[in-house]
């Protein structure tokens, strides 16, 4: 009975979060993520400041990018306007190499595909990613 309950809990968590792999291309998230890294992301509830997300580029449907949340609802964007409901300001860790909210503005909640939480390849870069504030 206990084994069935544990199996059910694992299956529920898997279906709810639906993990997927992400290949990092480009250096916009250096040094945190490097081109060639492979990571695991899961569906996310409410994104929080500091989390690294996979999102659909607002100007290129179907094209996904990886960026960090630096502003949430109620924060002020760099242009002084408040970030609206279900919108997030995202930026790359390397501003000189990143196309992000500084170019396309806040992103909508429905553009977010998941949260990146672990790098698994290359093996010598394996680590769990923590939110940065």
The region that residue 102 occupies, defined by phi over 0 for left and psi between -120 and 50 for alpha, beta otherwise, is alpha
Structure letter (DSSP) for residue 89:
E
Boundaries of every domain in the chain = 20-128
pLDDT value at position 10?
56
CA nearest to 41, candidates 112, 113, 116: 116
Q: Is 98 a catalytic residue?
A: no
Q: Is 30 a catalytic residue?
A: no
How many residues are given for the chain?
133
> Beta partners for 53?
67, 115
**Helix (H, G, I), strand (E, B), or coil: what is residue 128?**
strand
Per CATH, the number for 20-128 is 2.10.109.10
- The number of angstroms, rounded, from the C-alpha of 31 to the middle of its chain's C-alpha atoms is 15
- Tell me which of 67, 98, 101, 131 is the catalytic residue: 67
Q: Is the pTM of this model over 0.95?
A: no
Dump pLDDT digits (tens) for 83-114: 999 999 999 999 999 999 999 999 999 999 99
- Please answer whether residues 77 and 106 qualify as being in contact, where contact means their C-beta atoms are separated by less than 8 angstroms: yes
pLDDT of 128 higher than 60? yes
Dump pLDDT digits (tens) for 19-43: 889 999 999 999 999 999 999 999 9
State the pLDDT confidence band at 133, using cuts at 50, 70 and 90: low
- Please answer whether residues 30 and 93 qualify as being in contact, where contact means their C-beta atoms are separated by less than 8 angstroms: yes
């Amino acid at each position: 009975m206990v084994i069935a309950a544990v199996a059910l809990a694992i299956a529920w968590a898997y279906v709810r979060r639906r993990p997927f792999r992400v290949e990092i291309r480009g250096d916009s998230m250096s040094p945190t993520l490097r081109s060639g890294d492979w990571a695991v992301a899961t569906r996310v509830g409410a994104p929080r400041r500091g989390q690294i997300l996979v999102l659909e580029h607002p100007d290129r449907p179907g094209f996904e990018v990886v960026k960090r949340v630096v502003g949430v609802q109620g924060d002020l964007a760099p242009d002084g306007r408040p970030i609206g409901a279900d919108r997030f300001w995202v930026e790359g860790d390397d501003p000189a190499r990143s196309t992000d909210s500084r170019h396309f503005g806040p992103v909508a909640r429905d553009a977010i595909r998941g949260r990146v939480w672990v790098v698994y390849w290359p093996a010598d870069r394996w680590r769990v990613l923590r939110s940065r504030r």
